[in-house]
Amino acid sequence: MATNSSPPEPSADKLADRLFHDMIGALELFTVYLGERLGLYRALDRDGPATSAELAGRTGTAERYIREWLEHHAASGLLEVDDPAAGPLARRYRLPAAHVPVLADPDDIRYQAFNGVEIVRAGRWMAPLVEAFRTGDAPPALPWAPEGRAEYNRAVFLNLLGTQWLPAIPDVDQRLRREPPARVADLACGAGWSSIAMAQAYPKVRVDGFDLDPDVIAAASRNAGQAGVSGRVTFAVTDASGPGISGRFDLVTIFEGLHDMSRPVDALRAARGLLAPSGSVLIADELVADVFTAPASDLERYHYGWSVVACLPAAMGDPGTAATGAVMRPATLGRYAREAGFRNVEVLPLQTQTWRFYRLIP
Ligand SMILES: C[S@@+](CC[C@H](N)C(=O)[O-])C[C@H]1O[C@@H](n2cnc3c(N)ncnc32)[C@H](O)[C@@H]1O
């Protein structure tokens, strides 16, 4: 008989049922993609409940498509319908207030509609990834268009980085407030939201953001301009593991980027070389278990999922790759840091639902 700690007995029926439910979830994310891209959630939130014709009119879309989308969303509990028994064209649909932060408000830390964008973008890589599994190479880089990148970390950076995470590291927080103005290097900065958030929270600092991807750096520059911080935040297309960055920085950050780098040790060595006296290296990366376990938690399954379909493949083109993947355990990061010349790695008493924070001691 199974005990509490032993895995459940394998069952064909349960597995078939599980994959059926996974399919419902996958289809739901595709419909969330449509809602996000077409502005359907925002229109329902801003202008209130709508019939299919009204929502189509507000969003410049075709009524018949919108009617099916609304029916799906109401059937799935994502929207509410005033009278299910009314005729299809007469029914009026609303976005419940409790769903607004998750589906319609990209500024809220509970926003999740980006997951629709994420899964569609990842799906575009699947056919080339089949080939990459055979050759061991990286699949060709995904073009920026049509999705761009999903802005999965935008809201947490803008809401929490400068108000909770950095203030929880008192000496770093104080340095960022003091004269002479501190300099921050934000490696693998993506669309720049972490750099922008630090500049907004600390009015004296200068932030230099670096990323390999020219499209994401162009987006970062646009984002900084729109946020009104481009005087103190600049971005450059640079390999963080190469010699391309110069200067002395009081803080070097790598947010959810180290495991994506093909040469993480070189990047950490370069980061150490960039530090001003008393400078710090702060890393946030996936909150994974200390050791491999199976079956594992939902969070571990989530990180493994992204590792298989995106993070590991992205790092595979380089013949010298460390091939880390998203499941970078604390011991692996510790080894990388020691190989890069750091004396120690401190796990900070600070974590999010999905990240662990590390401070590297030179
Ligand atoms: C998961 S994204 C995180 C982006 C951003 N830090 C954030 O949290 O939104 C990882 C980023 O690492 C960048 N990257 C990977 N290898 C890099 C390298 N060697 N140098 C600079 N950036 C790199 C990728 O282009 C990508 O933008």
pTM of the entire predicted model: 0.95
Mean pLDDT of the chain: 96
Query: 153 CA to middle of ligand 1, Å?
Result: 12
Answer for the pair 285, 219: CB distance below 8 angstroms, yes or no.
Answer: no
**Cα-only R_g, the chain:** 23
Provide the edge-to-edge strand list for the sheet that holds 249-255. 233-237, 206-211, 183-187, 249-255, 275-286, 355-361, 344-351
Residues 153, 190: Cα–Cα separation, whole Å: 10
- φ and ψ of 32, to 5 deg: -65, -40
Answer for the pair 253, 201: CB distance below 8 angstroms, yes or no.
Answer: no
Query: 190 CA to middle of ligand 1, Å?
Result: 5
Coil, strand or helix: which one is 351?
A: strand
Residue with tokens 């520059």: 221
List pocket residues of ligand 1, CB cut-off 6 Å.
Answer: 153, 187-190, 194, 210-213, 216, 239-241, 255-257, 260-261, 267
- Residue type (1 letter), 224: A
Of 3-7, 57-61, 113-117, 222-226, which range is least confident? 3-7
Segment 188-195 mean pLDDT = 98
- Residue type (1 letter), 322: A
Residue 198 has pLDDT above 60, yes or no: yes
Q: What angle, rounded to 10 degrees, do the helices at 114-123 and 12-37 form?
A: 110
Of 15-24, 293-302, 320-329, 347-356, which range is least confident? 347-356
> For residue 25, what are its two tokens?
């979830």
> For residue 177, what are its two tokens?
């407030």
User: Of all protein residues, whose CA lies closest to atom 17 belonging to ligand 1?
Assistant: 261
Segment 47-54 mean pLDDT = 98
Residue 106 has pLDDT above 50, yes or no: yes
Query: 146 CA to middle of ligand 1, Å?
Result: 20
Residues 345, 125: Cα–Cα separation, whole Å: 35
Calculate what percentage of the chain has a pLDDT beyond 70.
99
- φ and ψ of 93, to 5 deg: -115, 145
> For residue 135, what are its two tokens?
């050759």
Best residue among 189, 241, 282 to mutate for probing ligand 1, ranked by most atoms within 8 Å of CB: 189
pLDDT of res. 6:
73
Residue 4 has pLDDT above 70, yes or no: no
Q: What is the pLDDT of residues 126-160, one digit of tens each?
A: 999 999 999 999 999 998 888 888 899 999 999 99
Q: What is the pLDDT of residues 7-35, one digit of tens each?
A: 779 999 999 999 999 999 999 999 999 99
Calculate what percentage of the chain has a pLDDT beyond 90.
94
pLDDT of res. 5:
63
Whose CA is closest to 229, among 254, 247, 204, 250? Answer: 204
Residue 235 has pLDDT above 90, yes or no: yes
Best residue among 154, 210, 237, 261 to mutate for probing ligand 1, ranked by most atoms within 8 Å of CB: 261
User: Of all protein residues, whose CA lies closest to atom 10 belonging to ligand 1?
Assistant: 257
pLDDT of res. 8:
79
Q: What is the pLDDT of residues 275-314, one digit of tens each?
A: 999 999 999 999 999 999 999 999 999 999 999 999 999 9
pLDDT of res. 3:
47
Residue 2 has pLDDT above 70, yes or no: no
Segment 249-278 mean pLDDT = 98
Q: Where are the beta strands (DSSP E) in the chain?
A: 80-81, 93-94, 183-187, 206-211, 233-237, 249-255, 275-286, 344-351, 355-361
User: Of all protein residues, whose CA lies closest to atom 27 belonging to ligand 1?
Assistant: 190
Report CA 76 to chain centroid distance, whole Å: 25
User: Which ligand 1 atom is nearest residue 314's CA?
Assistant: 15
Residues 215, 197: Cα–Cα separation, whole Å: 20
Query: 255 CA to middle of ligand 1, Å?
Result: 8
What does the longest C-alpha to C-alpha distance in the chain come to? 71
Segment 227-255 mean pLDDT = 97
Residues 279, 248: Cα–Cα separation, whole Å: 9
Residue 76 has pLDDT above 70, yes or no: yes
In the chain the domains, ranked by start, together with CATH numbers, are 12-105 (1.10.10.10), 154-361 (3.40.50.150)
Segment 256-265 mean pLDDT = 98
User: Which ligand 1 atom is nearest residue 241's CA?
Assistant: 19
Residues 6+ apart with CB under 8 A from 313: 125, 129, 132, 138, 139
pLDDT of res. 145:
87
Query: 36 CA to middle of ligand 1, Å?
Result: 24
pLDDT of res. 333:
98
